[in-house]
Chains A and B, each alone.
Chain A
Amino acid sequence: MRKAASIWRDLGLTAAILGLSFLAGLWLQHMALDEQVNTTVVFGVFLISMVTQGYFWGVAAAFIGTLMINYAFTFPYFQLDFIIPTNLYSAIVMIVISVLTSTLTTKVKHQEAVKAESRLERMRANLMRAVSHDLRTPLTTIYGSATALLDEGENMTDDQRRTILKGIKADAEWLTRMVENLLSVTRIDAGQLQIQKVPTVLEELIDESVRKFKSRYPDQELELRLPEELVLIPMDPILICQVIINLLENGVQHARGMTRLSLEARVAGDEALFQVTDDGCGIPPEDLERIFTGQHHRQEPTADGRKRNFGIGLSVCATIIAAHQGRIWAETPKGGGARFCFTLGLEEQSHEQ
């Protein structure tokens, strides 16, 4: 499907540019500027080689361009004649130009793709490092607690046992969330930057995200603002669900002094805009930029040890949104606190189902 669309696009571009240079040629001839016709057609061939995929269109345009010049713009007019050396010469020049340009553009396009891929790869690698490092702590608690209960359980008071069990539960929950995040990242196929997008009802997406969030934080109030009408957004809903939960969870875990947490989604132009806003301690301006990079670890004492995954959830969000070709950023709303925003395109790209 992708192929067919790009062939039609390239064919259209080639025809349009050739047509324009032909018209320009006629006009130049009319103005008695015959010697400029060749330059114009060569320029057209050069443009075609640059904007189309691969070599085919450029070379084809060079051939057609040669015929065009030969037929319409050089003596004998409106006849094909390859014997005259200037005609042969201009044909060769144009073909060489088209091949060289196509080679260069193909190379540049390839490099850009490699660059984007390696950026995503780097994000994933950072993430894996951070996560693997953090996995050890909860495992230590769980393992230690279980052995303590088995060996010393009889000598403990009921309260002591309950405390230890609660610790096991909390750390197991933390591990579960971490694994969900890792699974999300593995859903993004490294080889192809594309993810499987399906049209998703905004309301159902929010419903599922909020339901999952509330099952973890039943006491947290959450304000919701959603459009009244039905909105369909192409996305991988499992991944975007993960993004929303991570952002909400980030608010609960890191926005100290928070009294209000809100989730808003709306349509803005050809994008859907999602915002998670809290009125907590806010983010220092110097951190706003790098908070999504996965290398950011706030050096603050973690008294309860529960804040250690700061940044991992956010860099998962950044990876997911990057794979969706959306934007994600953090800002400080008027009146303080923190606001996390991300956008998703509403238009389905032609090569997707």
Chain B
Amino acid sequence: MSNKYKILLVEDEANIRTLVSTMLETAGYQSIQAGTCEQGILMVTSHMPDLVILDLGLPDRDGMDFIHAVRENFLMPIIVLSARTDEEDKVAALDAGANDYVTKPFGSAELLARVRSALRSARRGEPDQWRDQRFTLQDLTIDYAARQVFLGDREIRLTQTEYNILALLSENCGKMMSYRTIIHAIWGYTDDGSVKKLQVNMANIRKKIGACPGEDNYIINEIGVGYRMNGNKQ
């Protein structure tokens, strides 16, 4: 038995299927493929892949159905592949349980970075990773037990809310978190001012951890969609 990660690709375009599976196989992953939503759901159950790459525009059913169906029973990361650039589609896919998305057209480096990041965050979710109660990403350290955040040796003073947001993003490192998901987890309710409240808190967090616009920051923002802890930070 090989111990390669098994990745299921659900995509109806044969050309893209060939391309993506070539990208995945040359990067050392095992790839299995499905051309329709139905077939994809069957293969998730029978093959138990470590990760799913899903095209949203499938011929038989909407890719959103696939996400809902898979999320009823499985937790493996789902990366959505979509030609749609509208934020609403991305947000809907994320809210339904997708972990991330890649917009077509994409390069192999971009896709593989997202795959690595999603696999890493799935691993982090396993129990033994939580025993030390610490999150580390480059110079950023979060001590969950003490609720403290460090940048190198220096402690960063955050408010309760700011800490909660940062901790939430770090627990889901690599996963794109929609505004709604974050707001729901932090405040428990949504009102008209929620997004603004979140944006203000994020602005403070950015300032405190020394983020520079356009640089490779700890937190990546995608306007109109949400925020992501940058698991691939170099």
Would you call A224 an interface residue if the criterion is a C-beta within 8 Å of the partner chain's C-beta atoms?
A: yes
A203 — which chain B residues lie within 8 A by C-beta?
A: 203, 206, 213
Report the minimal beta-carbon distance from B152 to chain A, rounded to whole angstroms. 23
B213 — which chain A residues lie within 8 A by C-beta?
A: 203, 206-207, 210, 224, 226
Given contact pairs A201-B199, A206-B214, A207-B214, A172 touches B105 in the complex (Cβ within 8 A): yes
CB pair B200–A198 under 8 Å, yes or no, is no
Would you call B224 an interface residue if the criterion is a C-beta within 8 Å of the partner chain's C-beta atoms?
A: yes
Given contact pairs A176-B105, A210-B214, A238 touches B224 in the complex (Cβ within 8 A): yes
B224 — which chain A residues lie within 8 A by C-beta?
A: 198, 237-238
* Contacting residues of chain B (196-213) with chain A, CB-CB under 8 angstroms: 196, 199-200, 202-203, 206, 211-213
* Contacting residues of chain A (189-216) with chain B, CB-CB under 8 angstroms: 198-201, 203-211, 213-214
Encoded as 1 (CB less than 8 Å from any B CB) or 0, chain A from 147 to 185 comes to 000000000000000000000000010001000100100
A255 — which chain B residues lie within 8 A by C-beta?
A: none
CB pair B223–A200 under 8 Å, yes or no, is yes
Would you call B87 an interface residue if the criterion is a C-beta within 8 Å of the partner chain's C-beta atoms?
A: yes
Encoded as 1 (CB less than 8 Å from any A CB) or 0, chain B from 106 to 126 comes to 000000000000000000000
Complex CA–CA separation, A172 to B105 (angstroms): 9
Return the chain A residue nearest B214 by Cβ.
Answer: A210
CB pair B85–A199 under 8 Å, yes or no, is no
CB pair A224–B221 under 8 Å, yes or no, is no
Report the minimal beta-carbon distance from A169 to chain B, rounded to whole angstroms. 9
B202 — which chain A residues lie within 8 A by C-beta?
A: 201, 204
Number of A residues contacting the other chain (C-beta, 8 Å)?
27
Tell which of A172, A230, A241 has the most Cβ of chain B within 10 Å: A230
Report the minimal beta-carbon distance from B210 to chain A, rounded to whole angstroms. 13
Q: Which of A199, A204, A213 contacts B221 (CB 8 A)?
A: A204
Encoded as 1 (CB less than 8 Å from any B CB) or 0, chain A from 202 to 244 comes to 0111111111011000000010101000101000011001000
Q: Which of A208, A214, A232, A237 contacts B196 (CB 8 A)?
A: A232
B206 — which chain A residues lie within 8 A by C-beta?
A: 203
Tell which of B220, B222, B224 has the most Cβ of chain A within 10 Å: B224
CB pair B105–A222 under 8 Å, yes or no, is no
Given contact pairs A183-B85, A199-B196, A205 touches B223 in the complex (Cβ within 8 A): yes
Complex CA–CA separation, A163 to B49 (angstroms): 38
Return the chain B residue nearest A214 by Cβ.
Answer: B214
B222 — which chain A residues lie within 8 A by C-beta?
A: 208
Report the minimal beta-carbon distance from A171 to chain B, rounded to whole angstroms. 12
CB pair A213–B223 under 8 Å, yes or no, is no
Given contact pairs A224-B214, A230-B203, A208 touches B105 in the complex (Cβ within 8 A): no
Complex CA–CA separation, A183 to B85 (angstroms): 9
Complex CA–CA separation, A263 to B193 (angstroms): 30
Q: Which of B87, B105, B203, B214 contacts A211 (CB 8 A)?
A: B214
Complex CA–CA separation, A126 to B212 (angstroms): 38
Report the minimal beta-carbon distance from A303 to chain B, rounded to whole angstroms. 27
Report the minimal beta-carbon distance from B168 to chain A, rounded to whole angstroms. 18
B203 — which chain A residues lie within 8 A by C-beta?
A: 201, 203, 230
A211 — which chain B residues lie within 8 A by C-beta?
A: 214, 220
Report the minimal beta-carbon distance from B184 to chain A, rounded to whole angstroms. 19
Tell which of A204, A209, A232 has the most Cβ of chain B within 10 Å: A204
Complex CA–CA separation, A211 to B220 (angstroms): 10
A213 — which chain B residues lie within 8 A by C-beta?
A: 214
CB pair A204–B223 under 8 Å, yes or no, is yes
Encoded as 1 (CB less than 8 Å from any A CB) or 0, chain B from 177 to 208 comes to 00000000000000000001001101100100
Complex CA–CA separation, A220 to B87 (angstroms): 28
CB pair A238–B214 under 8 Å, yes or no, is no
B223 — which chain A residues lie within 8 A by C-beta?
A: 200, 204-205, 208, 237-238, 241
CB pair B214–A222 under 8 Å, yes or no, is yes
Report the minimal beta-carbon distance from B214 to chain A, rounded to whole angstroms. 3
Report the minimal beta-carbon distance from A276 to chain B, rounded to whole angstroms. 14
Complex CA–CA separation, A180 to B196 (angstroms): 28
Given contact pairs A203-B203, A203-B206, A206-B214, A238 touches B87 in the complex (Cβ within 8 A): yes
Report the minimal beta-carbon distance from A315 to chain B, rounded to whole angstroms. 20
A238 — which chain B residues lie within 8 A by C-beta?
A: 85, 87, 223-224
Complex CA–CA separation, A198 to B200 (angstroms): 15
Report the minimal beta-carbon distance from B217 to chain A, rounded to whole angstroms. 8
Report the minimal beta-carbon distance from A249 to chain B, rounded to whole angstroms. 14
Return the chain A residue nearest B211 by Cβ.
Answer: A207
Tell which of B87, B214, B217 has the most Cβ of chain A within 10 Å: B214
Encoded as 1 (CB less than 8 Å from any A CB) or 0, chain B from 212 to 234 comes to 11100100111110000000000
A172 — which chain B residues lie within 8 A by C-beta?
A: 105
Q: Which 9 A-B pairs have the closest CB atoms?
A: A210-B214, A207-B213, A237-B223, A206-B213, A204-B221, A201-B199, A230-B203, A211-B214, A208-B223
Instruction: Please list 14 pairs of residues, one from A and one from B, whose beta carbons are closer than 8 Å in the complex, sorted by A's number.
Output: A198-B224, A201-B199, A201-B203, A204-B199, A204-B221, A206-B213, A207-B213, A224-B212, A224-B214, A226-B213, A230-B199, A237-B224, A238-B85, A238-B224
| Beyond A203-B213, A210-B213, A230-B200, 19 extra complex contacts between A and B, CB < 8 Å | A172-B105, A183-B85, A201-B199, A203-B206, A204-B199, A204-B221, A206-B213, A207-B213, A207-B214, A208-B222, A208-B223, A211-B214, A222-B214, A224-B214, A230-B199, A232-B199, A237-B224, A238-B224, A241-B223
